[in-house]
Amino acid sequence: MESKRRSSRLLGIFIVLAGLAINSYSIGFFLADDHSIGNAHIKSALMVLQGGAVLLGFALLIGWKAPIWRPLRALLLGFLPMVIGLGGYGTGRMKTDLFTPEIERIQNRQMERLLASESVHLKLTPRFKKLGTAAENLRIPSAGVEGVFSDPVRVIDLVKKDDSHKHELASVGVQIEHYGLGRQSIVLRDELDLMRPILDRVDRFEHSKFGFVQGDFEGKNWRRWRVEGYFKGVAWLKSGERVQMKGGLQVLWELDEDADPMTKEHLNDPKRWHISEFLFLDFHTERTERTLFTEELAQRVTDPEALFEAQRNITREHIFDWLTAAARNDEWFPPDNYWDYRAAWALPAVSVVDIDGDGLDDFYKMAQYGKNQLFRNNGNGTFDEIAGQVGLDVKNHTNCALFADFDNDGDVDCFLGRSLEPSMYMVNDGGKFRDASDQFFGEGQCYFVSTASAVDYDGNGLLDIYIGTYAAQITVRQMNKHLRGQPKGKLLTGFLPEDQAGELYHLAKDSMENHIRDRVGPPNALMRNVGGGRFERAEDAGLELYRNTFQATWADYDSDGDPDVYIANDFAYNNLFRNDDGTFTDVSVETASQDVGFGMGCSWGDVDRDGDQDLYVSNMYSKAGNRIVDSISGMDPRFKDMAAGNSLLAWNGQTFDRISSKDGTGKRVEVGGWSWGSQYVDCDNDGWLDIYTLNGYYSAPELYRDDVDL
């Protein structure tokens, strides 16, 4: 009898412990894909089950004689300890660090700190930007921003110009002037008057901006947030000169004393944060006696209708309609089945060409939506739009236009690379262009073209065309969970032949786990010119690359007399292919030229004047990306490379040396923003190649634009 009571009490203890261990945390850890039970009904049912188990266990403990069959009692006494162990383990993994490896615990703490710091970064960015408005009012601080600063403030401010560090780029009329920095001092808030030496010289600003680069909490206490910042602006001086200003800053923000940094509402309240240190690290101006370039399209295109279409952005109109449809209580229909406001496969361009052979540059403007336009140079500084007259007013989805004499008859023909419509090969017949795409593609078509380059790769005297393609977002979108489970799936059907659609599927399936740095896309194509204006796909050449290519650029990097090609790929490694008598070998690894990242462009040029070709690769420099990879221990170093920015690679005869850096140990040409492409140019005529690089990203309509700056 006593033995039976002891077993009942033991069973009661086990049932109570099992009731506590089998909870939403442990169930979620073992059964949910994301280790979380989000369904409120399931959570409620688990709580009822837990409560019942605990009550039953306590009842057995206090002596309730439950009619439990003896074999079942024995089975429960053997089974429940395992349930308690598993439940405790799952709960422990979800709620404590008890079973977490040391590196994971460190990373979790780093991630928690990083997320808090990034949240503060986002909340304080608009507050810091207001100082730019104050600069435009020619007084920092001015009305509306006094509360940004603590009282008092530790300051290192500008002093007079340091003429000993003044230098000129005489050939382009640029003077660079450095300002000195005062000693660190403590200033009452009411007496603050920052940047006075330069603001006293300013008549008006075109624009100005204060921003953050990288910040973190000081020590373990989240009350102090120190950030590397910057100031930049363009202004007209009272002397009539136009200047660009740049300055580096270190700023310390402190949380109000009565605020709790562990409380999200306090930590994320920008009004509880104030600048207690505002320290300039450097400051200089770049000024010219005149503006080197001005926007003059409106003065150069005399036809108002042509000008309107040239300046129009139909994509932007679609985005605005999409954003405002709900407010209008209106249904909105996308312009096509693949519409996306960030569609990276639809990036129209401008091509420069002497279309009529008169020795003057004309230009061809492409459109994602709407008709392409061709502007003929009249020789007096004005342009007439003639696309409709010559047959080049192609409508919708043109990404690139390649003009060259492909049939060797003395005039320029045209290849139009398009995304959601078939690409086109246009032959010039006496100044009129006719569609000869059947001579180019045969029975096939070519979609999602992002870039095209002309080259005589086989040395037969005829220009061939290398086509790069891009469909990164669409490929990932189509590769859904259902399709991933299919043994013989296909991607981009309707755009690719069946064999290529199947190959793309298998490649995508294999790379899905690494699709940020190893993403596949539709195949590139090398089109061999066989004469008579006809082309065939050079399938044996080895350039059918399944990537998302933004640019392919040709040069004889190894000086063996034939052109080689460098291919910049988004979400993947780049590729360098060596031309071996008309077939190509991937030498990216052995030449150290892979340059993993978000490749967008590439340019060849002899930057060190040693007689061979060096390479400048346009990638994505991300402030946020650099902050993240610098904050987490054990992160794959390739992700750091992917956020690093542009790369300058010098050929040493065997491999490429990376001679660029952000820290000053190499050429400072990496921080180029989201760099969509670059071009070598000797802008100051000193015999050394300079670099002009594009950067930027989509800007939302002003009505919907926010102050977030990552």
Whether the per-residue pLDDT at 489 is higher than 60: the answer is: yes
| Residue burial 542-554, b: 16+ Cβ < 10 Å; e: rest | bbebbbbbbbbbb
Closest CA to 594 of 568, 558, 556, 613: 568
Cα(65)–Cα(58) distance, rounded to whole angstroms?
12
**Percent of the chain having pLDDT more than 90?**
58
> Between vectors from CA 536 to CA 475 and to CA 574, what angle results, nearest 5°?
45
The pLDDT value given to residue 640: 77
Cα(352)–Cα(76) distance, rounded to whole angstroms?
82
DSSP letters spanning 412-446: -EEEEEESSS--EEEEEETTEEEE-HHHHHTT---
Confidence of residue 60 (pLDDT cuts 50, 70, 90): confident
Q: Which residue has the tokens 């802008």?
A: 683
| Residue burial 567-602, b: 16+ Cβ < 10 Å; e: rest | bbbbbbbbbbbbbeeeebebbbeebbbbbbbbbbbb
Number of other residues whose CB lies within 10 A of the CB of residue 189: 16
Confidence of residue 453 (pLDDT cuts 50, 70, 90): very high
Cβ(343)–Cβ(473) below 8 Å: yes
Whether the per-residue pLDDT at 166 is higher than 90: the answer is: no
Q: Enumerate the β-bridge partners of residue 285.
A: 177, 245
Residue 23 per-residue DSSP state:
S
Domain locations in the chain as residue ranges: 2-95, 105-288
Cβ(419)–Cβ(498) below 8 Å: no
Among the ranges given (232-236, 330-334, 610-614), the one the predictor scored with the smallest mean pLDDT:
330-334
Among the ranges given (78-82, 573-577, 581-585), the one the predictor scored with the smallest mean pLDDT:
78-82
The pLDDT value given to residue 241: 87
Closest CA to 197 of 132, 229, 234, 245: 245
For domain 105-288, is the CATH number 3.10.450.50?
yes
Cα(113)–Cα(244) distance, rounded to whole angstroms?
36
**SS3 sequence of 543-587:** CCCECCEEEEEEECCCCCCCCEEEEEECCECCEEEEEECCEEEEC
Confidence of residue 1 (pLDDT cuts 50, 70, 90): low
Residue 336 per-residue DSSP state:
S
The pLDDT value given to residue 2: 59
Per-residue pLDDT, averaged over 491-511, amounts to: 91
Number of other residues whose CB lies within 10 A of the CB of residue 659: 17
Q: Residue 268 is which amino acid?
A: N
Confidence of residue 68 (pLDDT cuts 50, 70, 90): low
The pLDDT value given to residue 517: 81
Whether the per-residue pLDDT at 484 is higher than 80: the answer is: no
Per-residue pLDDT, averaged over 79-93, amounts to: 80
Per-residue pLDDT, averaged over 282-295, amounts to: 87
Cβ neighbourhood burial of 72 (10 Å; 0-12, 13-18, 19+) = exposed
Element (H, E) at 531: strand 525-531
The pLDDT value given to residue 408: 96
More confident residue, 292 or 532: 532
Whether the per-residue pLDDT at 144 is higher than 90: the answer is: no
pTM for this structure? 0.81
C-alpha dihedral, 513 to 515 to 518 to 524, nearest 10°: 130
Confidence of residue 47 (pLDDT cuts 50, 70, 90): confident
Please list the alpha-helical segments (H only) found in 568-651: 623-631, 637-642
More confident residue, 17 or 93: 17
What confidence tens digit (pLDDT) does each residue in 550-568 have? 999 999 999 999 999 999 9
Q: Residue 608 is which amino acid?
A: D
Confidence of residue 492 (pLDDT cuts 50, 70, 90): very high
What confidence tens digit (pLDDT) does each residue in 16-41 have? 888 888 888 888 777 775 566 756 66
Q: Residue 587 is which amino acid?
A: V
Whether the per-residue pLDDT at 455 is higher than 70: the answer is: yes
Confidence of residue 223 (pLDDT cuts 50, 70, 90): very high
